[in-house]
A and B are shown apart, each in its own frame.
Chain A
Amino acid sequence: MATQFTRMLAGRNTAVVLASLGAGTLATGYLLTDSTAAAERRMLYPPSADFPDLRKHNNCMAASLTPAIYAHLRDKTTPNNWTLNQSIQTGVDNPGHPFIKTVGMVAGDEETYEVFSEIFDPVIKDRHNGYDPRTMKHPTDLDSSKITSGVFDERYVLSSRVRTGRSIRGLSLPPACSRAERREVERVAVMALSGLKGDLAGRYYSLGDMNEREQQQLIDEHFLFDKPVSPLLMSAGMARDWPDARGIWHNNQKNFLIWINEEDHTRIISMEKGGNMKRVFERFCRGLKQVEQLIHERGWEFMWNERLGYILTCPSNLGTGLRAGVHVRLPNLSKDPRFSKILENLRLQKRGTGGVDTAATGDTFDISNNDRLGKSEVELVQLVVDGVNYLIDCEKRLERGQDIKIPTPLAQFRR
């Protein structure tokens, strides 16, 4: 865990040291460059002149941002000079959809969540079903041995996958990072990954240096990520300098995969065909722990703290950042009008087989956990295991002409 490491301080800058000291030191933030020009601008344009027009907006940021909060925070910056306006730009530019509530803000660095906590805390609470960062603690648990019944009926479950993200402490996040910082993330990650052995040994493909053949191979394997086109990501500045310092690492067995510098510093994915979620999660945990150990040896660590768990670019991915899911065939259940309610009570979500914002093809759905924060990794994967087993049971019953029941809703947080 982040608290148990040996730090090599040679060459680290003060921001890293401050970040590791924790929240309180940075809560007050720093004032913008106090040049005369900047001071004049502040006078000419008080916060009320700059307050965004959010009347047609439907996202978590727009629901929580008030003129008063904006006025308190507009002129503050994190130690790296990231501002509130930069955090909320994506939410201002993307009013949202009546049915889909996006988050509408991003972090530029670890300190963002502290300096701008006045807006981030209510947004986190809104997005994470009442998790209150001011009073609650997030549990981290990567002990995969605790998972039970984690092998699904392969007549229904076609594939299993677990993903999360990790950020490297001391380097700015994708909306804010400079080219050199992004290249440093790549260097640190690739160096660590090159130390993986056995079934985890693999290689790195830099997006910029890839040849056509490699590219086609990675597309065929469904590994390749492309330059973001979603306006949500573009407005947040994450696609700058593409494809500089972006790449994909995967093991030789092609079931453990890392994306570098896409929406987060790193996205870690464990996947395989079939229904052995337990094995997928075991490899996931083992791989994550080894990568963490390898970066520790070089004096780096992941961004993590007690209140928010693992720190990622989008507040929706805080905590575990974990999405555990399956591609599962549910031809009968998916036509049953109770399907959505069953999913809701099991705290699961459905997506199309192309991932977020895609439609299902045929009767095959991507089913995964809704929650990210407030429950540990083990709890979430167990929830998916139990939930998918329940769905398969429903499917089998409907096949046999039997009736199904809507399960009682699962509890929110136990802490």
Chain B
Amino acid sequence: MPFGNTHNKLKMNYSSDQEFPDLTKHNNHMAKILTPEIYSNLRDKETPSGFTLDDVIQTGIDNPGHPFIMTVGCVAGDEETYEVFKELLDPVIEDRHGGYKPSDKHKTDINPDNLQGGDDLDSNYVLSSRVRTGRSVRGFCLPPHCSRGERRAIEDLSIQSLDVLDGDLKGTYYALKNMTDEEQQQLIDDHFLFDKPVSPLLLASGMARDWPDGRGIWHNEGKTFLVWVNEEDHLRVISMQKGGNMKEVFNRFCTGLTKIESLFKDRGHEFMWNEHLGYVLTCPSNLGTGLRAGVHVKIPNLSKHESFGEVLKRLRLQKRGTGGVDTAAVGGVFDISNADRLGFSEVELVQMVVDGVRLMVDMEKRLEAGQAIDDLMPEQK
């Protein structure tokens, strides 16, 4: 349903210049790209479900950003957002995704057999491995815009489909609003529970409305395959386990995803996807694969090395703290994952992580032994 001043009719009595946001102190992709002219062209448009330009950009206006971290500053309210507001979103996507053009095509590849190796990362260094992505259900509005009825319908659909999973994927759904204290504590201890968003980036976009209605967590008995329902996206799908066997994690990820997709299709629903943008998600940063494949890896020596940043850059990897995005590393353990989402397939991205982390562990071992790593420096991928 409409959020904020979505359908405010009085605003059309004012000129585009009078409405244009003050972005002089802002540092995000939206602020870099939005001009008074683009605003003027798009401000009276809306998607069929009623999402407007002001809805798209509100989070970017309310969160001016940080000199060092470039956030996206816009969100989609439905699949059509990326069409109706292409004049703004295409350049934002190009800026965020390394030059990805409006005419480019994205390839999807979730065949785990295409991954080379990945079962051989040294578990003395690689403490855990994880792959996550998101999926949106076609025909429903996205979290910034969906009504309570839609959100509940997505939850019902998810529960029905996930209930059918069997074998090592068989599991249980825990609705956030019905959770007992015991269940909640268990999920926290397992590092599964997601909490109501506190990030102003998410709150400003309207994603936390009606919390915790329609939100929940599903996981298999082995606690290696997990689905978040109605958090930042309709579905977030996560495969994870201790140790360095990324191949196994990715196998399970692909098998699980494929099964879920076919179960949704059985119920007459498909995922939002197109040739150009791949899988369509709420934040433009997650388009394409929406995939983040990562490890928690112990690299106390490498992380202090002057070339650490350069190594990551060339390998197309990024570092985060072990609490996830916007956290700090603890005890030399870093979360290392792919930096890209769009323009590379799932297999290609996981391959980059597998190869890159293997190299980084080799470098760590060299540095431990007091040796140099210059000859190991990779080419720019």
- 1/0 per residue A171-211: CB within 8 Å of B? 11001111111011000000000000000000000001000
Which residues in A have their C-beta under 8 angstroms from that of B303? none
A86 touches B3 (CB 8 A): yes
Contacts of A180 in B (CB 8 A): 11, 14-15, 18-19
A240 within 8 A of B: yes
A20 part of interface (Cβ distance < 8 Å): no
Q: Is the CB of A183 within 8 A of B18?
A: yes
**Smallest beta-carbon distance A203→chain B, Å:** 21
Q: Quick one: CB contact mask for A62-96 with B, threshold 8 Å, 1 for yes?
A: 00000000000000010111110110010011000
Min CB gap A266→B, angstroms: 18
Query: Within the assembled complex, what's the spacing in Å between the Cα atoms of A230 and B49?
Result: 30
Contact across chains for A93 and B48 when beta carbons are under 8 A apart:
no
A178 touches which one: B8, B203, B211 (CB < 8 A)? B8
Q: State whether B1 touches A83 (Cβ < 8 A).
A: yes
Nearest CB of chain B from residue A11's CB, rounded to whole Å: 9
Q: Which residues of B contact A49 (CB under 8 A)?
A: 147-149, 152-153
Tell yes or no: A234 within 8 A of B by CB. yes
Q: How far is the CB of B78 from chain A (nearest CB, A)?
A: 10
**Chain A residues within an 8 Å CB radius of B69:** none
B184 CB to closest chain A CB, in angstroms? 15
| Residues B7 and A77 in contact, CB atoms below 8 Å apart | yes
Do the beta carbons of A53 and B177 come within 8 Å of each other? yes
B7 contacts A242, C-beta separation under 8 Å? no
For B150, list chain A residues within 8 Å (CB): 45
* Cβ contacts under 8 Å, A81 to chain B: 2, 6-9
Which of A15, A53, A180, A239 has the most CB atoms of chain B within a 10 A radius of its CB? A180
Residues of B within 8 A of A241 (CB): 21-22, 61-62
- The one of A37, A50, A176, A184 in contact with B148, judged by C-beta atoms closer than 8 angstroms, is A50
Query: From residue A226, how far is it (CB to closest CB) to chain B in Å?
Result: 14
Question: Is A244 located at the chain interface by the 8 A CB criterion?
Answer: yes
Chain A residues near B10: list those with CB within 8 A.
Answer: 13, 15, 80, 171-172, 178, 181
User: Given that A33-B50, A37-B48, A52-B210 are known contacts, is A244 also in contact with B14, CB under 8 Å in the complex?
Assistant: no
| A400 on the B face (CB < 8 A) | no
Say whether chain B's binding surface is mostly helix, strand, loop, or mixed: loop
Whether A93 contacts B5 by the Cβ 8 Å rule is no
Question: In the complex the two chains form, is B19's CB within 8 Å of A179's CB?
Answer: yes
A242 to B63, CA, bound (A): 9
- What's the least CB distance linking B206 to chain A, in Å? 9
Cross-chain contact B209 with A50 (CB below 8 angstroms): no
In the complex, whether A237 has a CB less than 8 A from a CB of chain B is yes
Identify which of residues 38-62 in chain A touch chain B, using a CB-to-CB cut-off of 8 Å: 38, 41, 44-45, 49-53
Interface contact tally, CB-CB below 8 A: 117
**In the complex the two chains form, is B209's CB within 8 Å of A176's CB?**
no
Give the residues in chain B near A135, CB-CB below 8 Å.
Answer: none
A172 touches B21 (CB 8 A): no
Shortest Cβ gap from A63 to chain B (Å):
18
- Chain A's nearest CB lies how many Å from the CB of B16? 9
Q: Complex Cα distance A37/B50, Å?
A: 9
Question: A35 at the A/B interface (Cβ < 8 Å)?
Answer: yes
A-contact bits for B190-212, CB 8 A (1 contact / 0 none)? 00000000000001100011110
* A178 in contact with B19 (CB, 8 Å): yes
A94 vs chain B, min Cβ distance (A): 10
Q: Does B58 contact A (CB under 8 A)?
A: yes
**Chain B residues numbered 1-47 whose CB sits less than 8 Å from any CB in chain A:** 1-11, 13-15, 18-22
A52 touching B148 by the CB < 8 A rule? yes
How far, in angstroms, from A237 to B4 measured CA to CA in the complex?
A: 6
| Contact B9–A93 (Cβ < 8 Å) | no
B48 lies within 8 A of A242 (CB): no
In the bound complex, residues from chain B placing their C-beta under 8 Å from that of A175 are 4
Q: Once the chains are docked, how many angstroms separate the CA of A377 from the CA of B218?
A: 56
For A45, give its contact among B2, B21, B149 (CB under 8 Å): B149
Enumerate chain A residues within 8 angstroms of B204, measured Cβ to Cβ: 240
Kindly list chain A residues whose C-beta atoms are within 8 Å of the C-beta of B48.
35, 37
Known A-B contacts A172-B8, A177-B5, A178-B11; the reply to A208 vs B209 at CB < 8 A is no
Question: In the complex, A19 Cα to B226 Cα: how many Å?
Answer: 53
A242 and B62 in contact, given A49-B152, A53-B213, A178-B14 (Cβ under 8 angstroms): yes
Instruction: Give the distance in Å from the alpha carbon of A81 to the alpha carbon of B213 in the complex.
Output: 25
Residue of B nearest to A242 (CB): B62
Tell me the complex Cα distance, A121–B203, Å: 30
Q: How far is the CA of A85 from the CA of B213 in the complex (A)?
A: 15
Give A13 to B14 CA distance when docked, in angstroms: 11
Residue of B nearest to A90 (CB): B209
Which residue of chain A lies nearest to B43 when distances are taken between CB atoms in the complex?
Answer: A178
Q: Which residue of B lies closest to A35 (CB)?
A: B48
> Is B233 at the interface (CB under 8 A from chain A)?
no
Task: Please name all residues of chain B whose beta carbon is closer than 8 Å to the beta carbon of A52 when the two chains form the complex.
Answer: 148, 210, 213
Residues of A within 8 A of B340 (CB): none
Tell me the bound Cα distance from A86 to B58 in angstroms.
16
Q: How far is the CB of B84 from chain A (nearest CB, A)?
A: 12
Residues from chain A with a CB closer than 8 A to the CB of B20 are 179
Query: In the complex, are the beta carbons of A178 and B54 less than 8 A apart?
Result: yes
Q: Identify which of B15, B18, B49, B209 contacts A92 (C-beta below 8 A).
A: B209
Interface of A with B (CB < 8 Å)?
13, 15, 33, 35, 37-38, 41, 44-45, 49-53, 77, 79-83, 85-86, 89, 92-93, 171-172, 175-181, 183-184, 208, 234-235, 237, 239-242, 244
Beyond the given A33-B50, A240-B5, A242-B62, could you list 11 further A-B residue pairs with CB under 8 A, ordered by the A residue number? Answer: A37-B50, A77-B7, A81-B7, A82-B7, A171-B10, A175-B4, A178-B8, A179-B11, A181-B8, A208-B22, A237-B3
State the 7 A-B residue pairs at the shortest beta-carbon distance, nearest first: A49-B149, A180-B14, A178-B11, A45-B149, A81-B7, A37-B48, A180-B18
20 A-B interface contacts by CB (under 8 A):
A13-B13, A41-B147, A45-B150, A49-B148, A49-B149, A50-B148, A82-B8, A83-B2, A85-B2, A86-B3, A92-B210, A93-B208, A93-B210, A176-B4, A176-B5, A177-B5, A181-B8, A237-B3, A240-B58, A241-B62
